[in-house]
Structure 1
């Protein structure tokens, strides 16, 4: 988007025309859904991984522009903060050796960027939030030098009309304020994409919402921020608060936050796009030249650029995606609940668990969401983010149950069956889901390891909090290089 986006936002001021165009795009999407405008799904998947850069002192390294300029790989791009980059793995099927191919390709690509990072006196770290970040790092000057981020910052800060505040109560409490969206750069995630049939999209989105709590409990990896021990997955609370465009008065009126779990089970993908248009004002009103209705009438495939751009500024934890690849439109669920790391093996295990479980639940005769109130699913999600692998959730026919017990007794067998339906090779299925099983049996994930390591550094080695966090992050980065799952990592 770059410069054109910035100039459009800075000079047009015509939100009404953009809003009208978004509504036209929405009408065209409705027509495509009603007229079977989507071809048979191929079950393609995708992975995005956000990565932190760290210097030799275990501090964030503001070097992404330099590192990326020396890396010839279109899969990498800058992220919000100068200490962030994003990697987009090439989409693929997971049948056969697909998951193993993902792992090999990701490891190779990470080695390449780490080689470039080391030339810039830094290294890469896969972690939900860098524990050594401070408020001094998260300032406007440390945003990546791309017009898109500055435009987004201006729009969010302008909509809020006051400082963006953070107040998170966990093991300890953090209160902070910022005059920019730079705090959002502390949130780094691993995102999974699953292409699904248009007429079955609602089932896959509902299934993703139902299991979001379990995912975040098992994969939590963000317990520290600004030196405070907060939630097991602090990133969930931080992301919602750091991008909240609502002043206090609008929150009191019930205006929805842009980082949003949602408020109901859906019957069609149209429900989500329509809610996004109805509830959220545009942030980046950039108009293109396409007439989507004319393109559709002429037998073409509209790109619906305005609707897609608007959709990208509503940060659902499970986001609907409309896209066109090689002239063919498709829909996919973008699963955004998990943090980055701790290792590539851990992230691929999380992906296998999500893909398999989501497919199996979406194809049940009596779906789980028909037995689970939506508000309970959201409560499960927030409780899991707070307590991580020790969390309990409410599950149909089982009542309140520990997440690890639920996974071992009920969900892992379903994930196995789901991966079988994708045609995943049994050896890869068993290895990756075996990581999830052992994570549950040992009750150790990334958040647990970080907290245990920090606690031992403070209590046994008598380091102060700052030194303990730097020491923990240095050891974390070294252990990550092995690609051994985090439940096997020694604490000392």
Structure 2
């Protein structure tokens, strides 16, 4: 979540001044590297991280990630913020040929194996955007993961904010109801952030091509969220279709109300303009956001460059990891070479491995077509329209209206069926993805649009059906989650699920 490991410690005023100076040195080194264009670019690869929840037999959060990770004993699985979270890192694979299908099979095997080991500990894995049985009682400080970096981040966010975090989300009515539910809670930890479990998609690109890829990803964000929404319940309340978006924005907000009133930028940030250089994003991060974890290394980045080595840019990476852009620039090194990645962070986890790969196929394919277009989409729409698309999609899912150039305001499903599916097909073809693989995943997206059923739509309808049969909200949500886990393991795409 935040890059390198950090030890538990306190920070002085001098630490913060030194850190700011080192971040500037890192920026200078990055600027020199960008001017020399010495970045490695591999063939296009699909890389991802998937955050998972742990539940017990009664579908309540299981605070057991340390024991589960020990039982899984696989370095691809790692700790996350809450004791009810773990994460799997999927090694990047080439997109060409049938590699997406191979990745799908490997991911399903890894998750099945991990789930079997978790069940030996009395837990089960839930691949879902937000665990619907989570409540305020699960956000106490004692449920932070034991890794010192999480407690340190928790301390620093509250020190910057100076007061507890307010969570305030007004929902959308459930099917057949006009009642609007809302969440209004105060939290004294950042653990509400741990409720937000996502799929993060990575793509390595050259620095010169990065601005086009980032702009295209920003334009696509609302469409992605509308189609993949899978986070409709928290603390027993029916909220947004993708509640993960507003909850994540609020749970890591370092600004008290007075700073919001001044227009100070939030740390969970969509951005405010289209970009022309990747340097813009790193520079904005250092210019606008105070350090949360000002850990200073001994590396001299310019000296490393002068010696012909790829600098780690440790301070820049640490700072970058505490500014939560929905599409984040990543600088990294491997085998002595530096590279740039685009990390797409808007998607929720689940519902099935097939759905996750279908969402990835839509993203990678459409992104490629948008980048290759003669007239870029971001030159035809305002940045504010992209911002509004994201929040409208998160709130309403398939019921939202999105803005798109040449067609104006349109439903997400109509936009995808009419415009974006052919673009995704063409983009995947240009990546060299086999025809039958393209068809497998894009048919899932088409089916989701035609039936207007995402994970969120299914969850909401399943809870309504149980409540109409006489169950309380608490029982209905737990029963829905139990059914969800069974269907998740059966593996059929969510648009085919019934309730």
Provide Cα deviations, 1:314-341, integer angstroms capped at 9, x if missing partner. 0000000011111121111100001000
- Is the contact made by 1:2 and 1:146 (CA closer than 8 Å) also made in structure 2? no
- Is the contact made by 2:11 and 2:294 (CA closer than 8 Å) also made in structure 1? no
Q: Cα distance 1:253–1:444, how it changes in 2: closer, same or farther (>3 A)?
A: same
After TM superposition, give the deviation of residue 41 of structure 1 in Å: 4.1
- Is the contact made by 1:41 and 1:197 (CA closer than 8 Å) also made in structure 2? no
Provide Cα deviations, 1:23-44, integer angstroms capped at 9, x if missing partner. 1001110111111121344223
Q: Residue 390 of structure 1: which of 369, 379, 399 is its match?
A: 399
- Is the contact made by 1:59 and 1:133 (CA closer than 8 Å) also made in structure 2? yes
Provide Cα deviations, 1:344-398, integer angstroms capped at 9, x if missing partner. 0000000010000001101111100000100011001100000012221011010
Q: Residue 477 of structure 1: which of 446, 461, 485 is its match?
A: 485
- Is the contact made by 2:3 and 2:318 (CA closer than 8 Å) also made in structure 1? no
- CA–CA distance in structure 2, aligned partners of residues 38 and 185 of structure 1: 34
- CA–CA distance in structure 2, aligned partners of residues 40 and 242 of structure 1: 35
After TM superposition, give the deviation of residue 406 of structure 1 in Å: 0.5
- CA–CA distance in structure 2, aligned partners of residues 68 and 53 of structure 1: 11
- CA–CA distance in structure 1, aligned partners of residues 226 and 3 of structure 2: 37
Within-5 A mapping of 1:58-457: 58-171=59-172, 172-457=181-466
- Counterpart of 1:320 in 2: which secondary structure? strand
Q: Cα distance 1:413–1:63, how it changes in 2: closer, same or farther (>3 A)?
A: same
- CA–CA distance in structure 1, aligned partners of residues 219 and 5 of structure 2: 39
- Is the contact made by 1:9 and 1:286 (CA closer than 8 Å) also made in structure 2? no
After TM superposition, give the deviation of residue 141 of structure 1 in Å: 0.4
- CA–CA distance in structure 1, aligned partners of residues 80 and 5 of structure 2: 18
- Counterpart of 2:125 in 1: which secondary structure? strand
After TM superposition, give the deviation of residue 153 of structure 1 in Å: 0.3
After TM superposition, give the deviation of residue 127 of structure 1 in Å: 0.4
- RMSD over aligned CA atoms reads 1.3
- Counterpart of 2:466 in 1: which secondary structure? helix
Partner of 1:39: 40
- CA–CA distance in structure 2, aligned partners of residues 387 and 71 of structure 1: 37
- CA–CA distance in structure 1, aligned partners of residues 203 and 4 of structure 2: 31
Alignment coverage as a number of residue pairs: 490
- Counterpart of 1:338 in 2: which secondary structure? strand
- CA–CA distance in structure 1, aligned partners of residues 286 and 42 of structure 2: 26
- Is the contact made by 1:2 and 1:147 (CA closer than 8 Å) also made in structure 2? no
- CA–CA distance in structure 2, aligned partners of residues 4 and 133 of structure 1: 27
Provide Cα deviations, 1:228-257, integer angstroms capped at 9, x if missing partner. 101000000000001100011100000000
1:48 aligns with 2:49: yes
- Counterpart of 1:362 in 2: which secondary structure? helix
- CA–CA distance in structure 1, aligned partners of residues 12 and 286 of structure 2: 23
1:21 aligns with 2:29: no
- Is the contact made by 2:271 and 2:325 (CA closer than 8 Å) also made in structure 1? yes
- CA–CA distance in structure 2, aligned partners of residues 468 and 164 of structure 1: 29
- CA–CA distance in structure 2, aligned partners of residues 482 and 9 of structure 1: 48
- Is the contact made by 1:9 and 1:284 (CA closer than 8 Å) also made in structure 2? no
- CA–CA distance in structure 2, aligned partners of residues 79 and 336 of structure 1: 15
- Counterpart of 2:26 in 1: which secondary structure? helix
Scaled by the length of structure 2, the TM-score of the pair is 0.96
After TM superposition, give the deviation of residue 12 of structure 1 in Å: 8.0
After TM superposition, give the deviation of residue 10 of structure 1 in Å: 5.0
Q: Cα distance 1:69–1:40, how it changes in 2: closer, same or farther (>3 A)?
A: closer
Provide Cα deviations, 1:166-214, integer angstroms capped at 9, x if missing partner. 0001122110011110111110000100111210100000000000000
- Is the contact made by 2:3 and 2:317 (CA closer than 8 Å) also made in structure 1? no
- Is the contact made by 2:15 and 2:295 (CA closer than 8 Å) also made in structure 1? no
- Is the contact made by 2:127 and 2:350 (CA closer than 8 Å) also made in structure 1? yes
Q: 5+ residue gaps in structure 2?
A: 173-180
- CA–CA distance in structure 1, aligned partners of residues 198 and 40 of structure 2: 30
- Counterpart of 1:37 in 2: which secondary structure? coil
- Is the contact made by 2:166 and 2:184 (CA closer than 8 Å) also made in structure 1? yes
- Is the contact made by 2:54 and 2:62 (CA closer than 8 Å) also made in structure 1? yes
- Counterpart of 1:5 in 2: which secondary structure? coil
- CA–CA distance in structure 2, aligned partners of residues 265 and 46 of structure 1: 25
After TM superposition, give the deviation of residue 104 of structure 1 in Å: 1.3
